[in-house]
Amino acid sequence: MTARLLTLLLVLLACDRLPEPHLEGQHIRLGASPGHEPCAGNLAHMDRFISLLAAELGVTPPTGDDRFTFYWLDQDDFLDLSPCPREVTACAVFGTVYSRAAMLDHELVHLLDYGTATFFGEGFAVAYEGLGADVMGGLPPRVGRRDIWGSLLSVLWFGVDYDDAGAFVAYLLDRHGLAKFQAALPRFPMLASRAGIDRVFREQFGVSLEDSVADFMDGREACPHIAYDRKLMECDVPRIAWDGRHHAEYRRLAADEPDAVGPFGASDLMVLRGIDIPEDGTYDLDIIADLRADSRPPYTRPTLTLVGCGGCDDEPVFHAITGRQRVELRAGRHALRLHSSTAADIRVAWSITRVDDTKPR
């Protein structure tokens, strides 16, 4: 019995007991274990992510009866009903994601890629998965050098350093282009060998595997995930209309807001926006919770994060603000994210202001 057939049988056995999808989108349906409540914006976020990624890859996203399915499962349901290995958070099998996490765009990438090699398939998913609700910006920084060879020759997922794989695949995408990488992806051997991978590199990229790893280590090793990630959602969301001088908003942050996405992890909530900075300069960023408003405890401290849309050739831009902070920004597109908790219902005021006179008084 092949592994593929065994997986199919396990899926069929679990189908009758999986939770019925209760949210229906254009490209995906969502089902959840009892007691799991996704944020109001999850379905729209997943639909848009699939649409953007499909357009990027030049494929048609599924609709109608062919739509993908995402199951957000509790611990018992995940172990009993999913075909995933016990050690993982989620897996994608035959157009279906089984996940312990409510939001995991990494697995949505797997629904649209067709690679069988662990290192390159996982690296591709990491390079396109987006930033989630991360408020650390990749901090603390990596210590030591990347071990590309150790991950590259791993047969199973637990031998792969996902960040190393994502960084190297992002380098290949930038160096050779998406079309060549897509052509190479299904040709990488499932059982990794140096000779087998090298053969694909020479045939598809016109360069040896050894030279590619060396070039990556020389020039791209230090590039962090916030820079090498393609940031499809972060940098292609509706942008804030402002005059480049000042913009302020007062709004509610809660799980039932139409643009709220989550939970990430245990209870993190995020609202994703975009903003164009018209010119280099100094800006004040502010965010504060209005504790006088009709809020529901716990009174979480909201965070505003600003992430630059540049890549590895640019200095990474990441700012996390929980009060007021003066920052230097370069002209260009940025992702602006508001963070709170799904357990909270709060009102926040936030603003961005251009500072013309930076002299201390």
Ordered mean pLDDT values, 10 residues apiece, the chain (361 residues): 42 70 98 98 98 97 98 97 95 96 97 84 96 84 84 86 96 98 93 95 98 97 95 95 98 97 95 97 96 68 95 94 96 97 94 86 48
- What does pTM read for this prediction? 0.93
What's the confidence (pLDDT) of residue 1? 24
What's the confidence (pLDDT) of residue 158? 80
What's the confidence (pLDDT) of residue 43? 98
What's the confidence (pLDDT) of residue 15? 57
What's the confidence (pLDDT) of residue 4? 44
What's the confidence (pLDDT) of residue 5? 36
Structure tokens at 71: 């199951």
What's the confidence (pLDDT) of residue 3? 41
CA 301-307-308 angle, 5° bins: 165
What's the confidence (pLDDT) of residue 226? 95
Q: In what order do the strands lie in the sheet containing 303-308?
A: 260-264, 268-277, 332-341, 303-308, 318-321
Q: Which residues contact 200 (CB under 8 A, 6 or more apart)?
A: 184, 187, 188, 189
